[in-house]
Structure 1
């Protein structure tokens, strides 16, 4: 393709040269102009990783995992001039497991998408007009992920909510952000934990730092997580490595460096 042309013009030329009647868009985050969508005889169809009209937007998997959804899906819809709008050709619902990371879910859906696209194209070839308009009343969208969306709020998030956030951040966003002893850390992997005979602790407090069993932190409503993998600017660390570096029970993860200074 000629680099001097705009991307839309390059696609337009490709359509002309290949005589394509239909286009499939998969994993492309830019908005195609309305004039280009009309070029193929049957238009463009987009592959979106949610059950539209829910979770429109550029990062549907992040938000579905963070919000603790138990199912997701793949939607094939005809593109219009809105983001993730247009009538639906085909959908397939898929279970979302509670400890599934962004990376694992994205890989799973990417592989499944091949068969879903085949089913959608078969349906289209049998009845190209069998499209279902999206219900705008039940539609909702989320924006692009920002740094504030990655921050752990120990006081207001439960253990399950923090685990969801950690999973949503792994690996694309580098982990859920927290602070310990004035240092920013990203928590990459956690697992739920049940601890007996423990007193009430402030959320974020490390309640056990044991070289044999690992690092355990208290969360809201006296629930607990085991911290498995973290990273900072220097290294990727296991909970055991953090313990070996001198972190002890009683230390407390914080929402911000400012909070540590106040405390």
Structure 2
């Protein structure tokens, strides 16, 4: 079997490496987008002398078609590839294109199903392998795998783990894929899965401690943390943990109920449970709760859900 892999992140590397070890990998396709992941994938191709093409969206029909017709792949695998593949390209591999989608289809269609899986505090993530069509997240489902989520697992950890677990589906995919037709599973035109800025914001007065922790995990690292506001400045929370506190009265949700240089910062949530702020991203850099206390953050200060940055307050430090 001759295979090519289309990808745009290191999540594609376990698949690339496995196919390489099997002697099946004949080419790699990455978008012409310069970032660390694609540079590492290109370095892999250079080291192991695997043909690799960097492609723009407008080049999909001509340059890519010529390149694939030279390689003559039996099958193409996609993982996190950002472009729609035109039919002229989909028809080149004899066994078509297979995409790995980290959500159940069609209900979890969209660019980032893992965000919703974690934000909604689901207990199980789903890997779906499906035949690709000219629409995103359509085509016959070939295989599914349910994966229990580890408590506290964030977006990056879960995505990396799922990318490794896709390897267990390859044999099943090869066997079942030959029997499939090119029917679609339905075009999901619902935009409710589209992630907007409001989805990244912590709502201290309405979200529970579990809901806030789930949002924080869903935002780390892709969105650089869940958004909140402090001293008129936007900051992003990257990691929290649950905490038990006693003798805490007369605070409102979002309040810092304890700021201690050894223990860190503890915040009250809407269900009157507490979260320890472990790590935040600020204009000044990444900081632990203990570091914030050392820099002057104190008990009784408040995190807000909406507070616009002003020119006079571009830093949270006084």
Query: Comparing 111-120 with 168-177, which one deviates more in the overlay?
Result: 111-120
Equivalent residue runs for 1:2-41 within 5 Å: 6-41=59-94
Matched, 1:257 2:307: yes
Gaps of 5+ in 2: 1-52, 311-318
* Shift in alpha-carbon separation, 1:72–1:139, aligned structure 2, 3 A: farther
SS state of the match for residue 16, structure 1?
A: helix
Distance in 2 separating the partners of 1:24 and 1:141: 26
* Shift in alpha-carbon separation, 1:67–1:131, aligned structure 2, 3 A: farther
Matched, 1:246 2:299: no
Superimposed CA distance per residue, residues 65-106 of structure 1 (whole angstroms, 9 cap, x where no aligned partner)? 111111012111011222101111111110112311111011
Equivalent residue runs for 1:40-59 within 5 Å: 40-59=93-112
Superimposed CA distance per residue, residues 200-253 of structure 1 (whole angstroms, 9 cap, x where no aligned partner)? 531100111112322110001111111000111112110011111111111100
| Map of 1:208 onto structure 2 | 258
SS state of the match for residue 251, structure 1?
A: coil
SS state of the match for residue 248, structure 2?
A: coil
SS state of the match for residue 120, structure 1?
A: helix
Q: Given the alignment, which residue of 79, 87, 94 partners 2:132?
A: 79
Matched, 1:93 2:146: yes
| Map of 2:205 onto structure 1 | 155
Matched, 1:113 2:163: no
Query: Comparing 8-17 with 138-147, which one deviates more in the overlay?
Result: 138-147
Gaps of 5+ in 1: none
Superimposed CA distance per residue, residues 15-50 of structure 1 (whole angstroms, 9 cap, x where no aligned partner)? 311222322112202111233223332321111111
Query: Comparing 35-44 with 218-227, which one deviates more in the overlay?
Result: 35-44
SS state of the match for residue 8, structure 1?
A: coil
Distance in 2 separating the partners of 1:89 and 1:110: 17
| Map of 2:120 onto structure 1 | 67
Instruction: Provide TM-score, normalisation by structure 2.
Output: 0.73
Q: Which has the higher contact order (CA 8 A, sep 6+)?
A: 1
Instruction: Provide the aligned C-alpha RMSD in A.
Output: 2.7
Q: Given the alignment, which residue of 275, 297, 311 partners 1:225?
A: 275
Instruction: Provide TM-score, normalisation by structure 1.
Output: 0.87
Q: Is the 8 A contact 2:133 2:182 kept in 1?
A: no
**Alignment length, in residue pairs?**
257
Q: Given the alignment, which residue of 199, 215, 219 partners 1:169?
A: 219
Q: Is the 8 A contact 1:89 1:131 kept in 2?
A: no
